[in-house]
Amino acid sequence: MVRDGRILSNVVSSQVKLHADYGGVVPELATREHLKNLLPVTRAALREADVTVPQLEAIAATQGPGLPSALMAGFKAAQSMAFALRKPCVGIHHHEAHLYSPWITGDPSAAIFEVFEPNVSLIVSGGHTLLVHVTAELDHRTLGSTLDDAAGECFDKTAKLIGLPYPGGPEIDRLAEQGNPMAFDFPRPLLHQPNDDFSFSGLKTAVRYFLEKHPVRPDDPQRLRDLCASVQAAIVEVLVAKTVRAARRLGLGCVTASGGVTCNRALRRDLATACQGHGLKLRLAQPRLCTDNAAMIGILAERKLRRGLPAQPLDAEVEPGGALA
Ligand code: KG4
Ligand code: ZN
């Protein structure tokens, strides 16, 4: 629930535990869970925000991209609510919501966008790795994206190879904290290529070959920590270097980052150091707004309505494959 650029409530129903047994998201299970949780989560959001149904001005939901059946559960429910309440329904692009999430301050007196400035934005999560040039508020163009695996996918898949539980990103982050990032030398894909794209599947393969030669030994926990720190360092170095390089090339003074992988402490630290070194301002999404959440969807929807952008017709379809502009 949001009002005037501020979060009144942000209820997140995580399915991480449900999917952990399968080592990844099972689409059928995800959709069933969405259907089961939709109304309880909506009621909890209203209750926490102390808002009643008649007070609602509009309903927003993610329109895409993502798993078609899971998107449909949320978007069709939002359209039904909007129809019943005779309110507009705003379909939001998932990546665009991440893109503007670093501007949500958490300070109740400072509404989003009051302090906006042009920036290069890194969006890193389980399904996407994007570098975006945000020229003005609600005006952006994608500079590059991953050619294969997303950064979060690389964290999760390498963690699985190492034998860590799903989702692997937070596990690698935790173990890497006491590891030596220079212990093992993994590739930094596309680091020196003159483009803004990323590629992480080769790094995952390098870890697999490494483990074939040097299996993880339960009696050597420090080696496991060193391995996690070294994998993490390879991912983070590429993300930081290419983001900062794009900002400098475009003559911008500000960098932002969002998406689940932006919870990663090494990424937050190294981005801060690199930006400071180059005189760039840095805005990182708050950790609770990095992983998927409804607040970032609502904030962007409200902003679009306030700027006079139209809501979607109530029979609009989900857009599972829709790329960011
Ligand atoms: O944005 P998000 O919640 O969902 C998608 O839209 O994909 O991101 C989830 C991803 C997962 O791959 C997870 O492993 C990763 O974010 N992640 C992390 C950390 N916390 C979450 N990766 C590295 N370090 C973390 N601390
Ligand atoms: Zn996401």
Q: What is the pLDDT of residues 96-138, one digit of tens each?
A: 999 999 998 766 555 556 678 999 999 999 989 999 999 998 9
| Dihedral over Cα of 170, 175, 181, 187: its sign | negative
Q: Is the CB of 263 under 6 A from ligand 1?
A: yes
Q: Which residue's CA is the closest to the ligand 1 atom numbered 10?
A: 126
For residue 105, the model assigns a pLDDT of 76
**CA-to-CA dists, residue 287 to 98, 221, 247, 323, angstroms:** 12, 28, 23, 25
Q: Is the CB of 156 under 6 A from ligand 1?
A: yes
> What is the Å distance from ligand 2's center to 195 Cα?
24
> What is the Å distance from ligand 2's center to 214 Cα?
34
> What is the Å distance from ligand 1's center to 30 Cα?
17
Q: Is the CB of 155 under 6 A from ligand 1?
A: yes
Question: For the segment 62-78, what is each residue's pLDDT rounded down to a tens digit?
Answer: 999 999 999 999 999 99
For residue 15, the model assigns a pLDDT of 80
Is the CB of residue 265 less than 8 Å from the CB of residue 290? Answer: no
Is the CB of residue 303 less than 8 Å from the CB of residue 114? Answer: no
For residue 17, the model assigns a pLDDT of 82
Q: Is the CB of 291 under 6 A from ligand 1?
A: yes
80: Cβ contacts below 8 Å, ≥ 6 apart: none
pLDDT band at 22 (very low <50, low <70, confident <90, very high): confident
> What is the Å distance from ligand 1's center to 285 Cα?
13
The residues whose Cβ lies within 5 A of ligand 2, an ion, are 125, 292
For residue 7, the model assigns a pLDDT of 92
For residue 115, the model assigns a pLDDT of 76
How, if at all, do strands 89-93 and 59-64 pair?
Answer: parallel
> What is the Å distance from ligand 2's center to 74 Cα?
15
Question: For the segment 159-207, what is each residue's pLDDT rounded down to a tens digit?
Answer: 999 999 988 999 999 999 999 999 999 999 999 999 999 999 999 999 9
Mean pLDDT value across residues 232-257: 98
To test ligand 1's pocket by mutation, which of 263, 284, 288, 297 has the most ligand atoms within 8 angstroms of CB? Answer: 263
For residue 106, the model assigns a pLDDT of 63
> What is the Å distance from ligand 1's center to 226 Cα?
21
What whole-number percentage of the chain has pLDDT above 70? 97
Mean pLDDT value across residues 230-243: 98
| Residue, of 210 and 24, whose pLDDT is higher | 210
Question: For the segment 247-258, what is each residue's pLDDT rounded down to a tens digit?
Answer: 999 999 999 999
Q: Is the CB of 66 under 6 A from ligand 1?
A: no
**Averaged pLDDT score across all residues of the chain:** 93
Q: Is the CB of 173 under 6 A from ligand 1?
A: yes
| Residue, of 22 and 50, whose pLDDT is higher | 50
CA distance 231 to 227: 6
Question: For the segment 281-312, what is each residue's pLDDT rounded down to a tens digit?
Answer: 999 999 999 999 999 999 999 999 999 999 99
Phi first, then psi, for residue 177 (nearest 5°) are: -55, -35
pLDDT band at 14 (very low <50, low <70, confident <90, very high): confident
Tokens of 149: 């695996």
